[in-house]
Amino acid sequence: MATLQHNITSIVTTELLAKGDNVSNIKAITFSNQHASTTAKIDLFLYDVVNNKSFYILKRVELPKETTLALGPEDNIIFDNSINGFSLRVKIDDDAGSPGAVPVDIIISR
């Protein structure tokens, strides 16, 4: 079963939903920057495992310290998450441009 709540605390690309999780009916995704002084830069993207291609929903979007960003259906977050579809991945860096761990909570709502 897919995990819909994530606490991201590292700089590596993290798979939020794996291909085949069948969570294709997403209503919203929220990102909450938990850091007291650092802005997070967020990349959110669909990943095609077969063709090794990324399709960005968010690219280097700044999320200031202690704030939340909410995406809804109007933000084009509905996608095919079946075994023939895409995975959903995120990468979070710090605001200095150097990879740094900024704690961000992510909640996916169905």
Q: Which band of pLDDT confidence, cut at 50, 70 and 90, is reported for residue 98? A: low
Domain range for 16: 5-109
Q: pLDDT-derived band of residue 7, with 50, 70 and 90 as boundaries?
A: very high
Phi, psi for 73 (deg, rounded to 5):
-55, -30
User: Average pLDDT of the chain?
Assistant: 92
Over 80: is that where the pLDDT of 95 sits? no
Look up the CATH number of the domain holding residue 40.
Answer: 2.60.290
- Threshold 0.85, pTM exceeds: yes
Q: Rounded to 5 degrees, what are φ and ψ at 75?
A: -95, 15
The domain total for the chain is: 1
